[in-house]
Structure 1
Amino acid sequence: MHILYIHQYFRKPEQGGALRSYYLSKALVEAGHTVELITASNGPKYYQENVAGIQVHYLPVAYDNSFGFLKRIGAFLSFTFRSIKLAFSLKNIQLCYATSTPLTVGLVAIALKKFRQIPFYFEVRDLWPEAPIQLGYIRNIWVQHLLYIFEHYIYRQADKVIALSPGILEGIKSYKSSQEIFLLPNMADCEYYTPVTPTRNSFNEPFNICYIGTLGRANRVAFLLEAAYACQLNGLTQVKFMIAGTGAETAALQKLATDLKLENITWVGHLNRDQVRQYLALAHATYTSFDTKPILQTNSPNKFFDSLAAGKLTIVNTTGWLQHLVEEHYCGFYADPTKPQDFVEKLMPYLQNPDLLLEAQQNARRLAVEKFSRGKIAQEYIQLFPKVN
């Protein structure tokens, strides 16, 4: 089957970032399908590249996490219209697979279905527009209403809808038959990450907690700084925090760290994939951070699954399925982000008991291998498509 994959933020392994689309597209190719993928680049012109058998089309549409809301919308629309034009020029496409965000990629799939009778699958990484509405980006009630209509129309038009978390799946159920919705969470790359962690034998030995990801409004990494401040106030000088990433909130977060006189924070900046692995190898635990908006409790962040694959004590500040996972499998804990002292109290047993820490780390790796390994998720993904004869 000749499949057109639409993903505005496609990344290659050497670039780092979320690699879900790379591995899923590669799995399709290995299963005998032909895959062409349309994405965006910050370069000045259109070009093509063959990536692991995937024919990737790069459209010159700049995007950065520091963009304001209107500039982001402009990038989304530019990518959408350029993608429609390019998609209509491609020959022999039999199926379109579109992955959000942004939701506007659904326009490409709908155009192909309406004018070329090409069916499509729609992958939902975030419930959009609910997320930007709850975060306060979209306040106009009429715009909200139109975006909800558009979202539900995409779900109804899609031949299959793929949800990345149970919460996202629940958000779709009202608009799609349950037989046409599939849960396919993010993957843990157990082949790339190995469970390497500095040994701790006593309470006072260094304990490193790593945050790797975007420093954006939705992530609200200020919660982590407040936890770091609580550790400092409690005299836990052995607890160190490494923050790796960039985003619109970087300057504000660094100012907050200065205002709090934090001495336990290291700012790392953007890391490529190999560097992420190196820093995770230095960490005993990771912290997954999101704002407290209800919609963000449904997220399926790739760095959470990297933490499991690397065998780390996995700390989350969201309720919902991430909390359920770490508590059910004894591989981490939930800390109420509005109560920094809660973080200290729940971290303390792992500082005091090296065996408990090691057990949690081993449980994290076991969960990654048994439930979320790249090979397992890729095989489940392939089953969504017709078999190649």
Structure 2
Amino acid sequence: MRVLYVHQYFNTPEDGGCIRSYHLARGLVAAGHEVTMITSHNGPSQSCDIEGIKVHYLQVPYANKFGFIRRIWAYLDFVRQSKRKVRQLDQSFDLAYVMTTPLTTGLIALHLKEVYNIPYYFEVGDLWPEAPIKMGAIKSGFLKQLLYRFEKKCYFEAQKVIALSPAIRNYIEASCPETNVYVVTNIADVKRFEPTHKLQHFNAEQPLHVGYLGTFGAANDLDNLIKVARACAAQHVPVKFTLMGSGGQYARIAKKSQSLANTTVLPFGNTAEVEKLMEQLDVCYVSFKNLEILNTGSPNKFFDGLAAGKLIITNFGGWIRNLIEKNQCGFYHDPTESEDFIRKIREFVDNPHLLHTYQKNARTLAENYYSKELQVQKLLNIMSNQKHMSVSDSEVYILTA
């Protein structure tokens, strides 16, 4: 098939960040499909071949620190330039694979179907507009209703919807029951990591190492992680914290951490730098505000943590909390109660055998359910209308959540 893949924030391992679309596109190429990628970056527009993927970069400046209006402008500019690029390509495509966020890529999907009669798959990793509405970023009642109608139209017109989590699938099926929804989660690239599960004894000289790798944004609730670090320092709990990433709140979080000897904040790193830090960690911390709508997500660093065989800690509920608790590879703590974190982390500080077991369980979960090969194969099966893997998405959810 000739596949037009649309992802506004396509990254390679050298770029860093989420490289899901890179892995899926490469998987499609390896299976014999022709893949044309339309994406954006801050540099000049250009086209190139990346491991068999024909990539067209559009110049659409964007940064996590952008305010709401400037972000919307970047989203709409990408829509405008993408439509023009498709017209310039003057190619026939059998299928479009359109990835959110942002939801505005749905305008491209609808345009492709209406103007060029190209059926599309619509991938949903975050529930827009529900998430920004619940967080208070969108207040106009008229705009809310407009966005909800647009969201449902994107789902309804899609040949298939690809949800990144069972929770997202459930939401879409409830709001748009006539839609065909499938789950292809984010990827645990087990071949990138060689976990070293060795027993360690922790003390002030050799503390347990907790790492947060990801976005420093309003939705990530990193202020409470700094409070946890401060409480650990005050009570002499041998835990070291490292935060790596970028975002609108990076400078403020870095400043708040300066007085803490047990906390280091590092700038955004590419895939190699993330791997290097992950190797040093004992624990992968996944952080979001504990809002029900944010509990549906599928953060890629969570899957990196599983692949690397790390104890997983979350400060929010939902399917990921259920997953790690059922499979004994992590725990949830109340983000408003630092003592809850301290009580639970002490079990692993004082019992290296327990930490060792949870870390091995994390790696096993990654290998059995979330490896790159399994997720690519699921997508290929969906495209060829084959039955899913021997264990279906719903069965995995029952087994693991």
Please confirm whether the aligned pair reaches a TM-score higher than 0.5, indicating the same fold: yes
1:229 aligns with 2:230: yes
Task: Quote the residue 2:264 is aligned against.
Answer: 266
Task: Quote the residue 1:88 is aligned against.
Answer: 87
Mapped to 1, the partners of 2:344 and 2:114 lie a distance apart of 54
Give the alignment's Cα RMSD to 1 decimal.
1.5
The Cα shift of 1:262 comes to 2.0
Mapped to 1, the partners of 2:254 and 2:24 lie a distance apart of 36
The Cα shift of 1:115 comes to 1.4
1:190 aligns with 2:206: no
SS of equivalent to 1:59? strand
> After the TM superposition, which residues 293-312 of structure 1 pair with which residues of structure 2 at under 5 Å, given as runs?
293-312=291-310
Where does the alignment leave 5 or more consecutive residues of structure 1 unmatched?
A: none
Q: Is the 8 A contact 2:190 2:308 kept in 1?
A: yes
SS of equivalent to 2:305? helix
> After the TM superposition, which residues 198-209 of structure 1 pair with which residues of structure 2 at under 5 Å, given as runs?
199-204=199-204, 205-209=206-210
SS of equivalent to 2:312? strand
Mapped to 1, the partners of 2:223 and 2:202 lie a distance apart of 29
Deviations 1:184-231 (A, max 9, x none): 111100011121367513555321100111111111211211111121
> After the TM superposition, which residues 206-355 of structure 1 pair with which residues of structure 2 at under 5 Å, given as runs?
206-236=207-237, 238-258=238-258, 261-355=259-353
Mapped to 2, the partners of 1:113 and 1:254 lie a distance apart of 45
Q: Is the 8 A contact 1:198 1:282 kept in 2?
A: no
1:216 maps to a residue whose letter is G
Q: Is the 8 A contact 1:197 1:284 kept in 2?
A: no
Deviations 1:65-122 (A, max 9, x none): 1111111000000001110111133301111110100001111111111111110000
SS of equivalent to 2:273? helix
Mapped to 2, the partners of 1:127 and 1:370 lie a distance apart of 27
Mapped to 1, the partners of 2:98 and 2:308 lie a distance apart of 29
Mapped to 1, the partners of 2:348 and 2:179 lie a distance apart of 43
> After the TM superposition, which residues 104-119 of structure 1 pair with which residues of structure 2 at under 5 Å, given as runs?
104-119=104-119
Mapped to 2, the partners of 1:58 and 1:114 lie a distance apart of 24
> After the TM superposition, which residues 95-134 of structure 1 pair with which residues of structure 2 at under 5 Å, given as runs?
95-134=95-134
1:160 aligns with 2:160: yes
Mapped to 1, the partners of 2:324 and 2:3 lie a distance apart of 36
Mapped to 1, the partners of 2:311 and 2:141 lie a distance apart of 42
Q: Is the 8 A contact 2:98 2:106 kept in 1?
A: yes
Task: Quote the residue 1:73 is aligned against.
Answer: 72
Mapped to 2, the partners of 1:275 and 1:336 lie a distance apart of 30
Mapped to 2, the partners of 1:265 and 1:199 lie a distance apart of 23
SS of equivalent to 2:38? strand
1:228 maps to a residue whose letter is A
Q: Is the 8 A contact 2:245 2:269 kept in 1?
A: yes
Task: Quote the residue 1:139 is aligned against.
Answer: 139
Q: Aligned pair in 2 of structure 1 residues 82, 110: CA closer, same or farther (>3 Å)?
A: same
Q: Aligned pair in 2 of structure 1 residues 48, 342: CA closer, same or farther (>3 Å)?
A: same
Deviations 1:237-289 (A, max 9, x none): x211001111100122123334xx42211111111111111111111101100
> After the TM superposition, which residues 17-36 of structure 1 pair with which residues of structure 2 at under 5 Å, given as runs?
17-36=17-36
Mapped to 2, the partners of 1:326 and 1:174 lie a distance apart of 25
Q: Aligned pair in 2 of structure 1 residues 179, 76: CA closer, same or farther (>3 Å)?
A: closer
Mapped to 2, the partners of 1:215 and 1:230 lie a distance apart of 21
Q: Is the 8 A contact 1:198 1:281 kept in 2?
A: no
Q: Is the 8 A contact 2:158 2:179 kept in 1?
A: no
> After the TM superposition, which residues 2-81 of structure 1 pair with which residues of structure 2 at under 5 Å, given as runs?
2-43=2-43, 45-81=44-80
Mapped to 2, the partners of 1:227 and 1:349 lie a distance apart of 16
Q: Aligned pair in 2 of structure 1 residues 74, 179: CA closer, same or farther (>3 Å)?
A: closer
Mapped to 1, the partners of 2:60 and 2:248 lie a distance apart of 19
Where does the alignment leave 5 or more consecutive residues of structure 2 unmatched?
A: 386-401
Mapped to 2, the partners of 1:296 and 1:284 lie a distance apart of 25
Deviations 1:312-336 (A, max 9, x none): 0110111011101110110110011
Aligned length: 384
Mapped to 2, the partners of 1:334 and 1:178 lie a distance apart of 35
Mapped to 2, the partners of 1:75 and 1:366 lie a distance apart of 40
Deviations 1:350-373 (A, max 9, x none): 000111010111000000000101
The Cα shift of 1:146 comes to 0.4
Q: Aligned pair in 2 of structure 1 residues 289, 151: CA closer, same or farther (>3 Å)?
A: same
Q: Is the 8 A contact 2:64 2:248 kept in 1?
A: yes
Mapped to 2, the partners of 1:178 and 1:209 lie a distance apart of 43
Mapped to 2, the partners of 1:335 and 1:249 lie a distance apart of 22
Mapped to 1, the partners of 2:316 and 2:86 lie a distance apart of 38
Q: Aligned pair in 2 of structure 1 residues 198, 263: CA closer, same or farther (>3 Å)?
A: farther
Mapped to 1, the partners of 2:287 and 2:33 lie a distance apart of 37
Deviations 1:289-328 (A, max 9, x none): 0012221111100000000000001101110111011101
- TM (norm. structure 1) is 0.96
Q: Is the 8 A contact 1:316 1:323 kept in 2?
A: yes
Q: Is the 8 A contact 2:37 2:55 kept in 1?
A: yes
